[in-house]
A and B are shown apart, each in its own frame.
Chain A
Amino acid sequence: MKKVWLVAAREYVSTVKRKGFVIATLGMPLFFMLIFGIAALVGLLTVNKSRNQRDVVGIVDESGLIDFALLPSVQSFHDRRTNQVLDDLANALGSQGEAMRTQMPGATSRVEFKVYRTRTTVELVPPLRGYYVVPADYLESGEIELLLKKGSFMADDRPGWRVVQSLVDASLAKDRVDETLVAGRLWMPPKLKAVALSETGQVAHRSVVDEVSRFAVPYVFTIFFMLSIMTSAGYLLQSVAEEKENRVMEVLLSSLTPDQLLAGKVIGLGGAGLTQILVWVIVGVFPSLAVAPFLDLRWSQLLVAIVFFILGFLLFGSLMGGFGSIGSNLKESQQTTMIWSLTAVVPLFFVSILIAEPNGTLARVLSYIPFTAPITMMLRVACGRVPWWDVALSALILAVSLLVFVRLAAKVFRLGVLMYGKRPSIFEIVRWLRAA
């Protein structure tokens, strides 16, 4: 065991001293902050742009119920969305629409447009994006029709719908409901203010940011853990390939057994990966929590993630080391182990489904397959509450299969380390494994 620790210590020290490791460890959180910053900025700009360049749609009133004089007030309410407007609107409802319109800069002015409609075509002059039709039987049917041209990818699929709703409600209320505040409240849709309660009944404040973090936190969390697993496993592969290429391998094998060597490497590089995560937690998670306390990260989540990191690294690290030993140089070794790297990232293909339904069937199935379990469980745990037995079952399946795969990897390693020359085919490897 002493020799295993010697190898582990050497692997650990030589890895954490690598430039690439230091850059990844310290640079990755900064890189992600930068990416998120840019994404947030782009998002903000896009929102502003779409607000400024609102799709122009028309309203055709076949019912005769709509009072277009109310439109500017309704519009400006939706633009400003302040309670202050409520009073203004209450006044506006009292046939002061024209006055309000002139008082509110930026309010939409009324433009006449013509619709030429046949059974198969619709032409609008001037060319608006589309129009709402309030039918003659609206009071009976309650249906409003929207005819709309296809917009860009980011375009709203029902532009101005809330304004139209409010306009219809306001028109119906006008002169029929006496109390102006009630009339105003009638067409002004209630705003939902959700208060989240913890299991013990404590009030937690949630906001739009919470909704964003609900997606971003698990995603970033998982990406970081996955990166750490894959880079550490990649270093292991590199270390095996390097020792084979420069023949240090034979010197090492004259001092220890292949199993001791592989175990030392897995422990040393797993330790390097854990160090990386620790640094990320210190420089990434703590400042994030300080800046944004709403980020709902619990220690139990971190603990479960670390358990799955360790199990995941043991699995992929051993397989990378074992199968990587077959190649004669780094390039060949990378080719031989490509399949394991690909299997590990499968859960990322389903990331949106897994985040939306962290306890769904797909999430469960992927959690019970050893290769996809580490990343899936990290994602699920980061998303929120996963039943403890589910975590335990997944960890158990992974741990039991580890026994099988680590043995297989060690067997391949024992054969591979002394093999030089032509790379064997998969069939040859299977044959040797059977013979060994």
Chain B
Amino acid sequence: MKLKADCVSKQFQTTQAVKDLSFQVPSGSVFGLLGPNGAGKTTLIRMLLDIIKPDSGTILYDGNVLDGRMKEKISYLPEERGLYRKMKVADLLDYFARLKGLGLQQARSNRQRYLERLNMQETARQRIEELSKGNQQKIQILSVLVSEPEVVVLDEPFAGLDPINTRDTKLLLQEERSKGKTIILSTHQMNQAEELCDFVLMINEGRRVLYGALTEIVAQHSEDALLLDCSELPDHVAGIRHAVAEGRLTKIYTETGLSNSDLLRSLLDAGVVIRGFRPASISLERIFIQVVQQSSQGVAA
């Protein structure tokens, strides 16, 4: 385990920002940190970065209690961001890399490699304020990666990026993961989380409301149903318990024990034309809304 939190709590004045939170972030995974606004995500991130200390509980990094020495191994991209506008791109990237403990030579060679990776070498001598907004955001993401940290904490990394830059950034993050880096991704964009994350932790009002491998969570919340793009169904087909229209698709609930192959065979026998089909898994966004509403009601009750 790269990071392990055990019963971590933090209180500010009268606000309980984080309450008895436990979770583990496996090495080399993309770990989604989800939750509505004000759920305590920023406080949790600040504790993971050792910017603030938990009131109780422990956070372990590679099995050791988190302290200032681990700061060099974890990089952070905050949600609201800015850079030193007057600084040159190369100086800025070198500065952030060196603050993470890299030597000057190493910082320079990393900076060159990452700028080349995003085809931005020509911006090296430009001031930040001379770059387009999209390029500024890419430099910001590079400023986090350039020190080659073991763990990268990204708060809404895709906010404000156009679809092409979003795709480039995702590819970059997937490359980083394939190099063995651990990525903690805090986002409200559930489709992005669904696409990238291996594990998710959802918190609401400082408490854990959902946690585990993404595939398992989706399976747990999904219904045992198939979505079909097909011609109109006859009134009765063997093995079908219930069918409802969902847009131009049809959602079919089968009788218990019936396999998908048997269902398809039964439909074909009934003369139904099938253009496409897939299991009717629930989206992470639906799960998010359900879980947050349930947990808020639970807290309110």
Interface residues of A (CB under 8 A from B): 2-3, 6-7, 10, 14, 17, 245-248, 250-257, 418
Residues from chain B with Cβ under 8 Å of A257 in the complex: 68
Docked CA distance A258–B31 (Å): 28
| Contact yes or no, A246 B81, CB < 8 A | yes
A14: contacting residue among B52, B75, B84, CB under 8 A: B84
Docked CA distance A257–B74 (Å): 14
B49: contacting residue among A3, A17, A245, A254, CB under 8 A: A254
Docked CA distance A250–B48 (Å): 13
A-B contact pairs, 16 of them (CB 8 A): A6-B99, A7-B99, A10-B95, A14-B84, A14-B86, A17-B86, A246-B81, A248-B82, A248-B83, A250-B51, A254-B71, A254-B76, A254-B153, A255-B96, A256-B71, A256-B99
CB-CB nearest in chain B for A257: B68
Residues from chain B with Cβ under 8 Å of A251 in the complex: 76-78, 81, 96, 143-144
A-contact bits for B94-109, CB 8 A (1 contact / 0 none): 0110111100000000
User: Nearest Cβ distance between residue A257 and chain B, in whole angstroms?
Assistant: 6
CB-CB nearest in chain A for B48: A254
Interface residues of B (CB under 8 A from A): 46, 49, 51-52, 68, 71-72, 74-78, 80-87, 95-96, 98-101, 143-144, 153
| Contact yes or no, B143 A14, CB < 8 A | no
Most buried by B among A2, A6, A7, A250: A250
Docked CA distance A246–B92 (Å): 15
Known: A254-B71, A254-B75. A6 touches B82 (CB 8 A): no
Residues from chain B with Cβ under 8 Å of A17 in the complex: 86
Known: A248-B83, A250-B51, A250-B78. A255 touches B46 (CB 8 A): no
| Contact yes or no, A418 B78, CB < 8 A | no
Residues from chain A with Cβ under 8 Å of B80 in the complex: 247
Residues from chain B with Cβ under 8 Å of A255 in the complex: 71-72, 96, 99-100
Docked CA distance A252–B144 (Å): 11
Known: A250-B76, A254-B76, A255-B71. A418 touches B51 (CB 8 A): yes
| Contact yes or no, A418 B99, CB < 8 A | no
Residues from chain B with Cβ under 8 Å of A245 in the complex: 82
Interface of A is mostly: helix
User: Nearest Cβ distance between residue B168 and chain A, in whole angstroms?
Assistant: 21
Residues from chain A with Cβ under 8 Å of B81 in the complex: 246-247, 251
| Contact yes or no, B99 A3, CB < 8 A | yes
Docked CA distance A246–B82 (Å): 4
Most buried by A among B68, B71, B153: B71
Residues from chain A with Cβ under 8 Å of B84 in the complex: 14, 246, 248
16 further A-B contacts with Cβ under 8 Å, apart from A246-B85, A251-B144, A253-B49, are A6-B99, A246-B82, A246-B84, A247-B82, A248-B84, A250-B46, A250-B51, A251-B77, A251-B96, A251-B143, A254-B74, A254-B75, A254-B76, A255-B99, A256-B99, A418-B52
Residues from chain A with Cβ under 8 Å of B101 in the complex: 2
CB-CB nearest in chain B for A17: B86
| Contact yes or no, B76 A6, CB < 8 A | no
Known: A251-B77, A254-B75, A254-B76. A246 touches B83 (CB 8 A): yes
Docked CA distance A310–B56 (Å): 42
Docked CA distance A14–B91 (Å): 11
Docked CA distance A68–B141 (Å): 96
Residues from chain A with Cβ under 8 Å of B96 in the complex: 251, 255
Residues from chain A with Cβ under 8 Å of B71 in the complex: 254-256
User: Nearest Cβ distance between residue A407 and chain B, in whole angstroms?
Assistant: 19
| Contact yes or no, A6 B95, CB < 8 A | yes
Residues from chain B with Cβ under 8 Å of A253 in the complex: 49, 51
A247: contacting residue among B78, B98, B144, CB under 8 A: B78
CB-CB nearest in chain B for A13: B91
Docked CA distance A17–B91 (Å): 14
Docked CA distance A248–B85 (Å): 11
9 nearest A-B residue pairs (beta carbon) = A246-B82, A254-B76, A255-B99, A254-B49, A250-B78, A253-B51, A247-B80, A247-B78, A247-B81
| Contact yes or no, A254 B51, CB < 8 A | yes
Docked CA distance A149–B86 (Å): 64
Residues from chain A with Cβ under 8 Å of B100 in the complex: 255
Docked CA distance A250–B140 (Å): 13
| Contact yes or no, B46 A418, CB < 8 A | yes
Docked CA distance A258–B217 (Å): 40
CB-CB nearest in chain A for B49: A254
User: Nearest Cβ distance between residue A412 and chain B, in whole angstroms?
Assistant: 16
| Contact yes or no, A14 B49, CB < 8 A | no
Docked CA distance A239–B101 (Å): 23
User: Nearest Cβ distance between residue A423 and chain B, in whole angstroms?
Assistant: 16
User: Nearest Cβ distance between residue B190 and chain A, in whole angstroms?
Assistant: 24
User: Nearest Cβ distance between residue B89 and chain A, in whole angstroms?
Assistant: 14
User: Nearest Cβ distance between residue A36 and chain B, in whole angstroms?
Assistant: 35
| Contact yes or no, B72 A14, CB < 8 A | no
Docked CA distance A407–B49 (Å): 24
CB-CB nearest in chain A for B80: A247
CB-CB nearest in chain A for B52: A418
Docked CA distance A247–B153 (Å): 15
Docked CA distance A245–B81 (Å): 9
Docked CA distance A256–B84 (Å): 17
Residues from chain B with Cβ under 8 Å of A10 in the complex: 95
Residues from chain B with Cβ under 8 Å of A3 in the complex: 99
Residues from chain A with Cβ under 8 Å of B68 in the complex: 257
Docked CA distance A57–B72 (Å): 86
Docked CA distance A7–B84 (Å): 13
Docked CA distance A167–B153 (Å): 95
Residues from chain A with Cβ under 8 Å of B78 in the complex: 247, 250-251
CB-CB nearest in chain A for B77: A251
User: Nearest Cβ distance between residue B143 and chain A, in whole angstroms?
Assistant: 7
CB-CB nearest in chain A for B153: A254
CB-CB nearest in chain B for A258: B51
CB-CB nearest in chain B for A18: B86
User: Nearest Cβ distance between residue B102 and chain A, in whole angstroms?
Assistant: 11
Docked CA distance A301–B52 (Å): 46
Docked CA distance A53–B96 (Å): 71
CB-CB nearest in chain A for B97: A255
CB-CB nearest in chain B for A253: B51
CB-CB nearest in chain B for A3: B99
